[in-house]
């Protein structure tokens, strides 16, 4: 059974992504209107997590490289935005764009050696970066205000919009726009070149592509997404301080990516949901058992660790991959029962299927 | 978000997934409780809900994880004896791992989902700074912040109150003791390179002249900060000719500094901020890792520190006796009596007294007013009164200098009080007796 | 001058410990082309096992040996349970799993032994040795640190060069298919590699704990320094790990001592980026043919 033509999404990537984004955005908008202010705050948190994970996912899923220190690029974005907002009175978009730019530049610099590095080397470099970024604010304390960090005033909502809802709108809007850009980036000629390089570097070079340049650029794009997340984070948290960007944050982002499905932009949303709600659930569930304080306190991290391991071993394409295979299984069943020979439409998601890219 | 189930194109599946994300979010969202319609959130005829965030795990947890449970034990004790105006205190402790990224949502959850009346004893400077604007904008009292940051008195944030003497005041009191008692000796500093250490140094610098400073060294308060010990810093101070070394360090760093000096066979006069000088904690750390060389208490012998709570080893002190008996019964995770347990208990007492002072008709503005007008008259479990007033939101007003001898602390000075810029004065009052409120009556 | 000597001695001792961590990373890399980011966490675990034994009044050296033995067992188990299923999968899978193990193991340690710092008894006195009138920042315990890591290194070298097991290990690492055809039980050899690596890590944990206090996160930064050491050494060579460890230890000591403590982690990151920009496979690595 084919959908009527007008019901199908356009094939032109930009249009398609925009339509999807508008649809998703509308749904999110309705939700922000109907839930409590605390829930709005969590929606805002989901927003910045999602775009940060999406950035990491582009690096890992498309470039085949891994960063254990993506929190460091978030820090670059958050500090840039925070400093801008502290010293200048500019419309919100400016500091956020500066955050994106600064993270992209730093990401490109770090990515330079990455062009020639195999996965584990890069992982180690970024791990070292995750530690270093926490010490820098103290070294340049007069600029970054040391461990107390930079206070960011919450954005003033227009009219009678509650502050939390306004925050949710800003971060979700930022995240959705970021996603559209990433999706188009991946569908562009550039994205195709990247995949070519990932799949067969020699052949790609022979075809005239420059793998090194492509990799640096992907690293910059990935870091830029983290920078956007950092800028939104600064607004959400109201403070930018070194303690926010511990190794744990980078590991959380990695966990979110693995749980959601690496290489998938939609998966980034699942990952963000998991990062926001799993700790809450863990806390609620462990509250019902008579556990010692020490066990309770370590429960959240243990659950994250276990989840990463189990998913990586049993379902390395994460929730999104699982949903995809579930969906195609349902599709096969339905076709068989109906004798429907309709071909599945070509994959629409802007990233290649996780079975292919992901680890 | 309603898509007809028949649509099978992957195109629309993708779209609906986006929607599903949102639906899940919404479903999760709507489970949290809506505020009940009382005039004051968190207060009913039979209950007062309070909340806190504190590190129960992670790098900052050592020691600090005892504080909130100890305060909770005081509340349980008061609850078991009838509560405050018939209201029992419900105390919610969230583990923020000393990470502002977690403090923010947890605090907002405390306010919006758990509906707390106030936060009490939230631990840490960056963590509590992160929620200060929010709590104040919602007019929610941010009481007895467990940090000595000199930043809690700020007219922009009338709902925030610190608890311990701020680090500048503490530094001044230690500095003036050094100036008086070790005149002519070269002094070295070792401090944590953050607001805690830097504020301490600000206070020290007000008293100790630049010319007598032999050297200043620091270490990072981050997880990598102590990964290579403190040997380099201590050797630098030794080589610079310091005879007196002032430590603005957390207990682990104090222990490593003492050990590094022992390795160099160097025994300067140690002067240690109260933050990093808790003798039971240090003796525990030192005895087990230098048993074969020297005893921990021997390394610590003769060290000077300051105290704003009575010595934990003073078994005859009425407050100490009371706290120990309450914690033994009511603190489930209670393992040992030490400075952190004493600190938590002090927090608990102060909170109960404040709730009592705020009266039967409990409101947030009423609570703030009670603290600003009566706070300085509270019978604290500390050596000094609180400084609270409309223009001062720090906690304890000062401290005394004590010397650590064989694991005990013995006062070697009168009790001093001061402010960030004012002179150092002597406090002559004696410690407040335990009020009837806590006598199980 | 005294300061330079102190910085050198201190950096040297820590460097030797980083070398032990690096050696563990190298052993696993040689055997399975995996960087084990859980190496530090596993070492913390074995050190806590020693603490538990000591708390039960077990003789110090027995507890020490117990922790090392636990390292062998835990390493072997880790390989069989978590890593074996991942061979042949993309590079990234084992990295992610080892990161998962890192936080899982650290939270288990925190749940069992508490998140607090605790001291760890050194094998020998930590009071510095005196030469004439100068007291060096170098104790009997530091001598022990040096000696035990050297023994470990020599042991591993002897094992690789002159034993049948070593030969099979090298064969499995460089040509697993050929080794398998020749009747080498490659799986068992890989398990042995992981066991030895975790043994080396366990030793590092026991040596560093008396110097920096034991807590669940103790090894996190040390792993980073150990990784830097391993990369400097080329990730492939045990001897490179030793040299890389000492260079890293001295470097961090001088940078921290002369430029301020906040530059220690920054220095390590910069060092890694610079070295890898110039030589993507480490300083001491033999240039390998580009795989086509």
Question: Token pair 């311990």 is at which residue?
Answer: B164
Q: Above 70 in pLDDT, residue A1? A: no
Residue A350: what pLDDT?
36
Substitution target in A20, A239, A246, A338 with the highest count of B β-carbons within 10 Å is A239
- Under 8 Å between Cβ of B394 and B166: yes
Residues in chain C within 8 Å Cβ distance of B222: 265
With contacts defined as CB-CB under 8 Å, which chain A residues touch C111? 292, 294-295, 297-299, 302
Three-state SS string across C113-175, please?
Answer: HCCCCECCCCCCCCCEEEECCEEEEEEHHHHHHHHHHHHHHHHHHHHHHHCHHHHHHHHHHHC
- Contacts with A110 from chain C: Cβ below 8 Å: 273
CA distances from B124 to B58, B144, B149, C282 (A): 14, 11, 9, 41
For B168-307, CATH gives 3.40.50.2300
Tens of pLDDT, residue by residue over C187-211, are 888 899 999 999 999 999 999 999 9
SS3 B426: strand
- Give the total residue count for chain B: 441
Unique residue bearing structure tokens 């000696």: C147
Mean predicted confidence (pLDDT) in C173-180: 81
Asked if pLDDT for residue A304 goes beyond 70, the answer is yes
A vs B, Cβ pairs < 8 A, gives 198
d(CA A77, CA A73): 6
pLDDT, tens only, B128-153: 988 998 899 889 999 999 998 888 99
| Residues in chain C within 8 Å Cβ distance of A314 | none
Q: Which pLDDT does position A164 carry in this prediction?
A: 87
ipTM confidence score:
0.88
In a domain, C224, yes or no: yes
Question: Nearest Cα to C37, choosing from B380, B379, A309?
Answer: A309
Nearest chain A residue to C260 by CA distance is A139
Q: Does C262 touch chain B (CB under 8 A)?
A: yes
Q: How far is CA A249 from CA B13, B53, B195, C224, in A?
A: 31, 18, 23, 17
Q: Which residues lie closer than 8 Å to A217 by C-beta, 6 or more apart?
A: A108, A190
B25-34, B286-295, C130-139: which has the highest mean pLDDT? C130-139
Instruction: List, as ranges, residues 269-308 from B with C-beta within 8 Å of C.
Output: 284-294
Q: Other CB atoms closer than 10 Å to residue B282's CB: what's the count?
A: 27
Q: Looking at the partner chain, which of C111, C265, C272 has a beta carbon nearest the beta carbon of A294? A: C111
Find tokens 């195709």 and name the residue.
A192
**Chains with at least 3 CB pairs less than 8 angstroms from chain B:** A, C
Whether A23 contacts chain B with CB within 8 A? yes
Residue B6, pLDDT > 50, answer no
Domains identified in chain C, total number: 1
CA distance C123 to C53: 15
Alpha-helical (H) ranges within A59-210 are 63, 70-87, 93-114, 119-139, 141-144, 163-187, 189-199, 201-206
Cβ A328 vs Cβ A321: under 8 Å: no
CB-CB: which of A119, A131, A309 is closest to C221?
A131
Strand stretches in B196-322, DSSP E:
213-219, 244-248, 269-272, 304-307
C212 touches chain B (CB under 8 A): yes
Taking the C-alpha atoms of residue A121 and residue A123, their distance in angstroms, rounded to an integer, is 5
Asked whether A102 and A76 are in contact (CB, 8 A), the reply is: yes
Q: How far apart are CA A289 and CA B301, in angstroms?
A: 45
Q: pLDDT confidence of B321, banded at 50, 70, 90?
A: very high
pLDDT beyond 90 at B22: no
Say if residue C140 is exposed, middle or buried (CB neighbours under 10 Å; 0-12, 13-18, 19+): middle
Task: Evaluate whether residue C174 is within a structural domain.
Answer: yes
- CB of A297 within 8 A of CB of C115? yes
C211: distance to nearest CA of chain B, Å? 6
Query: Which DSSP symbol is given to A312?
Result: H
Residue B3 pLDDT > 70, yes or no?
Answer: no
Query: Which chain C residues are Cβ-neighbours of A61 within 8 angstroms?
Result: none
More confident residue, B51 or B333: B51
| CATH number of the CATH domain containing C30 | 1.10.3470
pLDDT above 60 for A2:
no
For residue C93, give how far its alpha carbon lies from the nearest alpha carbon of chain B (Å): 26
C77 pLDDT exceeds 90? yes
Has residue B183 got a pLDDT over 50? Answer: yes
**Contact flag A294-C114 (C-beta cutoff 8 Å):** yes
Beta-strand pair B304-307/B269-272: parallel
Q: Does B137 touch chain A (CB under 8 A)?
A: yes
Say what the pLDDT of residue B158 is: 94
- Please report, rounded to a whole number, the percentage of residues in chain B having pLDDT higher than 70: 88
What residue in A sits closest to B1 (Cα-Cα)?
A27
pLDDT-based confidence at residue B292 (cuts at 50, 70, 90):
low
Domains B47-165+312-396 and B168-307 share a fold: yes
C285 compared with C230, residue with greater pLDDT: C230
Q: Is the dihedral of CA C269, C272, C275, C276 positive or negative?
A: negative
Q: Which of B17, B26, B225 sits opposite A266 (nearest CB)?
A: B17
Q: Which of residues 290-329 of A touch B (CB under 8 A)?
A: 292-294, 296-298, 300-301, 323, 327
In chain C, the percentage of residues whose pLDDT exceeds 70 is: 97
Q: Are B289 and C213 within 8 A, CB to CB? A: yes
pLDDT at position B440, please?
63
Q: Which two tokens stand for residue B293?
A: 């060389």
Cβ–Cβ under 8 Å, residues C10 and B235: yes
Number of CB atoms found within 10 A of residue C181's CB: 9
Question: CB of B21 within 8 A of CB of B15?
Answer: no
What backbone phi and psi angles, to 5 degrees, belong to C280?
Answer: -60, -20
Give A301's contacts in chain C (Cβ within 8 Å): 103-104, 106-107, 110
Distance from CA of C124 to the nearest CA of A (A): 32
Domain that holds residue C84: 2-126+141-278
Cβ contact (<8 Å) for B63 and C222? no
Torsion of CA A262, A264, A265, A271, to 10 degrees: -40
**Left, alpha or beta for B42 (phi > 0: left; psi -120 to 50: alpha)?**
left
Task: Using DSSP bridges, classify how beta strands B47-54 and B160-162 pair: parallel, antiparallel or unpaired.
Answer: unpaired
Name the class of domain B47-165+312-396: alpha beta
What are the residue ranges spanned by the domains of chain B? 47-165+312-396, 168-307
Average pLDDT, chain B: 85
Structure confidence by residue, pLDDT tens digits, C229-283: 998 888 888 889 999 999 999 999 999 999 888 888 988 888 888 888 787 777 7
Q: Kindly report the CA angle at A355 between A351 and B1, in degrees rounded to 5?
A: 55
The percent helix, strand, coil of chain C (3-state, each to 5) is 75, 5, 20
The dihedral through the CA atoms of B247, B248, B253, B255 has a sign that is positive
Q: Does C292 touch chain A (CB under 8 A)?
A: yes
C220 lies within 8 A of chain B by CB:
yes
C268/A contact by beta carbon, under 8 A: yes
pLDDT-based confidence at residue A355 (cuts at 50, 70, 90) = very low
Closest-CA distance, C2 to chain A, in angstroms, reads: 26
User: A60: which DSSP letter?
Assistant: I
Decide if C283 is inside a domain.
no
Residue-wise DSSP of A164-198: HHHHHHHHHHHHHHHHHHHHHHHHSHHHHHHHHHH
Q: Residues, chain C, total?
A: 292
Whether the CA torsion B12, B14, B17, B22 is positive or negative: it is negative
A148-157, A275-284, A303-312, B289-298: which is most confident? A303-312
> How many other CB atoms sit within 10 Å of the CB of residue A21?
17
CA distance A65 to A112: 13
Least Cα separation, residue B409 to chain A (angstroms): 30
**Structure pTM?**
0.86
- Which of residues 138 through 167 in chain C touch B, CB cutoff 8 A? 139
A135/C264 CB distance under 8 A: yes
Summarize the confidence of residues C108-117 as an average pLDDT.
88
Q: Which of B36-45, C75-84, C116-125 has the lowest mean pLDDT?
A: B36-45
B325 touches chain A (CB under 8 A): no
Residues within 8 A of B (CB atoms), A 149-208 only: 149, 151, 153-154, 163
- With bands split at pLDDT 50, 70 and 90, how would you rate the model's confidence at C134? confident
Tell whether C286 is covered by a domain.
no
* B157 touching C (Cβ < 8 Å): no
Contact yes or no for C115 and B293 at CB 8 A: no
> Does B221 touch chain A if contact means CB atoms closer than 8 Å?
yes
CA angle A150, A154, A158 (to 5 degrees): 155
Strand positions, DSSP E, chain C: 128-131, 134-139
Q: Is A214 helix (H, G, I), strand (E, B) or coil?
A: helix
Residue B270 φ/ψ region, left for φ over 0, alpha for ψ in the -120 to 50 degree band, beta for the rest: beta
Nearest Cβ partner for B126 among A31, A46, A243:
A243
CB A154 to CB B17 under 8 A? no
- What 3-state DSSP class applies to B245? strand
Nearest CA in chain A to C272: A125
Interface with A, mutate which of B17, B167, B344 (most A CBs under 10 A): B17
Chains that touch C (3 or more CB pairs under 8 A): A, B
Contact B232 C115 (CB under 8 A): no
Q: Which residues contact B308 (CB under 8 A, 6 or more apart)?
A: B164, B165, B274, B382, B383, B384, B396, B398, B399, B400
C289 falls within a domain: no
Question: What's residue B293's pLDDT?
Answer: 53
Q: Are C201 and C24 in contact (CB under 8 A)?
A: yes
Nearest CB among B94, B109, B127 relative to A38 is that of B109
Tell me how far apart the alpha carbons of residues B266 and B244 are, in angstroms, rounded to a whole number: 11
State the virtual CA torsion across A115, A119, A122, A126 in degrees, nearest 10.
130
pLDDT at B36: 44
Residue C263: C-alpha distances to residues B218, C41, C223, C271 (Å): 12, 24, 17, 11
Nearest-CA distance from A235 to chain C in Å? Answer: 27
Looking at beta carbons, which residues of chain A come within 8 Å of C25?
none
Query: Around B407, how many Cα atoms within 13 Å sit in the side-chain half-sphere?
Result: 12
Q: Residue A336: its pLDDT value, please?
A: 78
Instruction: Report how many helices (DSSP H) and strands (DSSP E) chain C contains, helices first.
Output: 11, 2
C270 in any annotated domain: yes
């Amino acid at each position: 059974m084919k959908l009527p033509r007008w019901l199908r999404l356009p094939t032109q990537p930009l249009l398609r992504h925009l339509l999807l984004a508008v649809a998703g955005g509308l749904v999110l908008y309705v939700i922000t209107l109907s839930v409590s202010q605390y829930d709005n705050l969590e929606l805002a948190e989901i927003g910045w997590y999602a775009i940060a994970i999406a950035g990491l996912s582009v690096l890992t899923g498309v470039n085949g490289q891994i960063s254990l220190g993506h929190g460091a690029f978030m820090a670059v974005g958050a500090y840039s935005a925070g400093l801008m907002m502290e010293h200048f009175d500019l419309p919100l978009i400016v500091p956020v764009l500066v955050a994106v730019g600064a993270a992209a530049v730093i990401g490109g610099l770090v990515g330079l050696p990455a062009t020639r590095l195999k996965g584990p080397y890069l992982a180690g470099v970024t791990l070292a970066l995750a530690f270093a970024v926490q010490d820098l604010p103290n070294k340049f304390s007069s600029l970054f205000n040391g461990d107390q960090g930079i206070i960011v005033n919450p954005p003033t909502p227009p009219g009678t919009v509650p502050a939390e809802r306004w925050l949710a709108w800003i971060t979700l809007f930022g995240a959705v726009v970021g996603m559209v850009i990433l999706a188009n980036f991946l569908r562009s000629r550039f994205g195709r070149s990247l995949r070519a390089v990932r799949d067969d570097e020699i052949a790609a070079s022979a075809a005239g592509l420059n793998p090194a340049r492509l990799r640096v650029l992907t690293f910059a794009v990935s870091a830029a997404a983290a920078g956007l997340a950092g800028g939104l984070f600064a607004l959400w948290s109201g403070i930018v301080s070194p303690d926010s960007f511990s190794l744990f944050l980078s590991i959380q982002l990695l966990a979110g990516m693995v749980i959601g499905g690496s290489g998938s932009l939609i998966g980034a949303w699942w990952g963000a949901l998991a990062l926001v709600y799993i700790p809450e659930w863990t806390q609620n569930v462990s509250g019902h058992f008579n556990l010692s304080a020490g066990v309770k306190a370590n429960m959240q991290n243990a659950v994250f660790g276990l989840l990463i391991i189990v998913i990586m071993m049993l379902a390395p394409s994460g929730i999104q991959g699982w949903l995809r295979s579930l969906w195609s299984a349902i599709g096969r069943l339905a076709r068989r029962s109906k004798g429907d020979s309709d071909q599945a439409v070509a994959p629409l998601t802007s990233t290649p299927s996780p079975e292919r890219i992901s680890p | 978000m309603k898509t007809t189930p028949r649509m099978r194109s992957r195109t629309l599946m993708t779209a609906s997934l986006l929607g599903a994300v949102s639906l899940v979010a919404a479903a999760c969202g709507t489970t949290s409780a809506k505020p009940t319609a009382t005039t004051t959130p968190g207060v009913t005829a039979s209950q007062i809900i309070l909340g806190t965030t504190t590190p129960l795990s992670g790098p900052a947890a050592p020691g600090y994880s005892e504080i909130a449970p100890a305060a909770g034990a005081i509340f349980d004790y008061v609850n078991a004896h009838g509560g405050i105006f018939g209201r029992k205190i419900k105390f919610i402790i969230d583990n923020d791992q000393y990470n502002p990224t977690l403090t923010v949502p947890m605090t907002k959850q405390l306010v919006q989902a758990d509906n707390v009346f106030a936060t009490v004893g939230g631990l840490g400077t960056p963590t509590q700074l992160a929620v200060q604007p929010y709590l104040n904008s919602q007019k929610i009292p941010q009481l007895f912040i467990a940090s000595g940051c000199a930043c809690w008195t700020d007219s922009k944030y009338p709902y925030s109150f610190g608890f311990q003497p701020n680090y500048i005041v503490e530094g001044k009191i230690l500095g003036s003791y050094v100036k008086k008692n070790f005149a002519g000796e070269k002094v070295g500093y070792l401090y944590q390179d953050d607001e805690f250490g830097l504020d301490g140094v600000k206070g020290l610098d007000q008293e100790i002249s630049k010319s007598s400073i032999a050297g200043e060294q620091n270490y990072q308060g981050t997880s990598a900060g102590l990964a290579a010990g403190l040997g380099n810093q201590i050797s630098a101070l030794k080589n610079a000719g310091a005879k007196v070394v002032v430590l603005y360090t957390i207990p682990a760093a104090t222990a490593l500094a003492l050990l590094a000096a022992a390795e160099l066979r160097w025994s300067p006069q140690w002067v240690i901020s109260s933050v990093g000088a808790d003798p039971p904690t240090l003796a525990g750390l030192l005895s087990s890792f230098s048993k074969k060389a020297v005893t921990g208490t021997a390394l610590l012998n003769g060290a000077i520190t300051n105290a704003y709570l009575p010595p934990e080893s003073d078994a005859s002190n009425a407050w100490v006796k009371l706290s120990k008996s309450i914690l033994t019964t009511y603190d489930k995770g209670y393992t040992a009596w030490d400075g952190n347990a004493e600190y938590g208990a002090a927090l608990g007492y102060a909170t109960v007294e404040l709730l009592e002072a705020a009266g039967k008709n409990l409101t947030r503005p009423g609570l703030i007013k009670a603290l600003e007008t009566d706070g300085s008259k509270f019978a604290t479990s500390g050596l000094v009164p609180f400084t609270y007033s409309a223009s001062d939101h720090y906690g304890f007003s000062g401290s005394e200098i004590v010397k650590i001898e064989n694991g005990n602390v013995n006062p070697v000075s009168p009790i001093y009080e001061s402010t960030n810029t004012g002179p150092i004065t002597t406090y002559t009052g004696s410690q407040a007796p335990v009020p009837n409120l806590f006598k199980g009556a | 001058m005294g300061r330079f000597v102190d910085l050198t001695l201190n950096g040297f001792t820590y460097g030797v410990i980083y070398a032990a961590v690096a050696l563990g990373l190298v052993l696993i890399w040689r055997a399975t082309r995996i960087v084990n980011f859980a190496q530090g966490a596993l070492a913390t675990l074995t050190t806590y096992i020693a603490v538990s034994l000591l708390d039960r009044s077990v003789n110090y050296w027995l507890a020490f040996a117990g922790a090392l033995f636990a390292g062998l067992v835990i390493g072997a188990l880790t390989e069989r349970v978590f890593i074996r299923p991942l061979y042949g999968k993309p590079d990234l899978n084992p990295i992610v799993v080892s990161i998962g193990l890192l936080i899982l193991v650290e939270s288990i340690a925190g749940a069992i032994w508490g998140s607090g710092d605790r001291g760890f008894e050194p094998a020998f006195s930590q009071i510095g040795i005196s030469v004439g009138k100068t007291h060096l920042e170098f104790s009997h315990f530091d001598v022990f640190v040096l000696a035990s890591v050297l023994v470990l290194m020599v042991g591993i070298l002897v094992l690789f060069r002159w034993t049948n097991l070593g030969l099979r290990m090298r064969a499995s690492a460089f040509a697993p298919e050929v080794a398998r055809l020749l009747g080498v039980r490659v799986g068992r050899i890989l398990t042995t590699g992981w066991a030895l690596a975790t043994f080396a890590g366990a030793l590092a944990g026991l040596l560093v704990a008396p110097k920096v206090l034991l807590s669940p996160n103790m090894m996190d930064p040390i792993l980073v320094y150990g990784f830097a050491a391993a990369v400097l050494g080329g990730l492939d060579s045990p001897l490179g790990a030793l040299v890389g460890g000492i260079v890293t230890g001295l470097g961090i000591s001088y940078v921290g001592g002369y430029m301020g403590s906040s530059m220690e982690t920054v220095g390590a990151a910069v060092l890694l980026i610079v070295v890898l920009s110039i030589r993507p496979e480490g300083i001491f690595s033999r240039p390998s043919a580009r795989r086509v």
